[in-house]
Amino acid sequence: MPEPHVAIGGRALTGLISQSYDAALGEDDWASVLDGLARLLGSDSAVTLHPTGAPMPADKAIRIQSDPGYVPLYNTHYHQTWPILPMLPQLPAVFVDRMLIPDPAFIRTEFYNDYARPQGRHSGLYWIDADRRGLGIHLSLWRSRRRPDWGDGEVQLLRHLGPHLGRALKIQDRLAAARARGATPSPLTPRERDCLAWVARGASSKQAARHLALSAYTVDEYVASAMRKLQATSRSEAVANALSLGLLDS
């Protein structure tokens, strides 16, 4: 697998961000998103996206290239042996495990010898959403011994991608909660929903216009109309109101 040479804002990166929001809206598959992440960042081993912290009452993680036999073992035991865990409150959002623990020490740990190495994992690149309550949404990408160490390029790319993944998963959760409350007749037109959905993904009017084959002025008009109908004073409030009502899921 070639090393990634992707500029921030490049087409491949932008497409992957868009695909993440599509997955949140049910228009794409999260496994495909992780496959794209593996190719973009140069992972030749497992990629796992945890929508919630660990341990989890119910396993909701999305995985590719993982041995299913290790999943219950991870949830019941090995997540507790992750040698980075004691450093959690001070961790940066994106890091490589070897940035924090030297290789000779890391490869002596139970986590590495009994969990990572048997699955062909050697070095992990992580994005985490953690706060005082502990570990929240997090992503891990692994490389085998055959691959070189993770570099600054991969760290920078994941630093840009991570918040979009977190935002997309939160949108997905809000949509699921809205569905659980029952469907609500939509006061929005299809075009208003389309434009507001792109706003929810973090797109500018120009970016939304390119995707929808509209002018930026027309996108602004549709968003303004949606704001009036939703009694919102800002775009972000309109998105929040639409998500809470389940209007972006139709």
pLDDT digits (tens, 9 = 90+) for 67-98: 999 999 988 899 899 999 888 878 889 999 99
**Which CATH number is 175's domain given?**
3.30.450.80
Residue showing tokens 């919102």: 232
Q: In 3-state terms, the chain is what percent helix, strand and coil (to 5)?
A: 55, 10, 35
Residue showing tokens 């997090």: 138
pLDDT value, residue 220: 94
- Single-letter amino acid, residue 178: A
Does the predicted TM-score (pTM) go above 0.75?
Answer: no
Sign of the CA dihedral running 55, 83, 88, 99: negative
- Same structural domain, 109 and 215: no
What confidence tier does 213 reach under pLDDT thresholds 50, 70, 90?
very high
pLDDT value, residue 39: 94
- Same structural domain, 200 and 169: no
Which residue range forms the structural domain that includes residue 210? 183-244
C-alpha to C-alpha distance for 77 and 79, rounded to whole angstroms: 6
Above 90 in pLDDT, residue 19?
A: no
The pair of structure tokens assigned to 71 is 């999943």
Above 90 in pLDDT, residue 57?
A: no
Position with higher pLDDT, 189 vs 186 = 189
- Single-letter amino acid, residue 229: K
Average pLDDT over residues 16-23: 85
Domain boundary among 179, 199, 228: 179
- Same structural domain, 47 and 123: yes
- Same structural domain, 147 and 200: no
What confidence tier does 8 reach under pLDDT thresholds 50, 70, 90?
low
The pair of structure tokens assigned to 225 is 């109309």
pLDDT value, residue 1: 46
The pair of structure tokens assigned to 189 is 């037109």
- Same structural domain, 224 and 117: no
Write phi, then psi, for 233 (nearest 5 degrees): -100, -5
Above 80 in pLDDT, residue 183?
A: no
- Same structural domain, 41 and 163: yes
Element (H, E) at 193: helix 190-200
Above 80 in pLDDT, residue 113?
A: yes
Write phi, then psi, for 12 (nearest 5 degrees): -65, -40
DSSP assignment, residue 95?
Answer: E
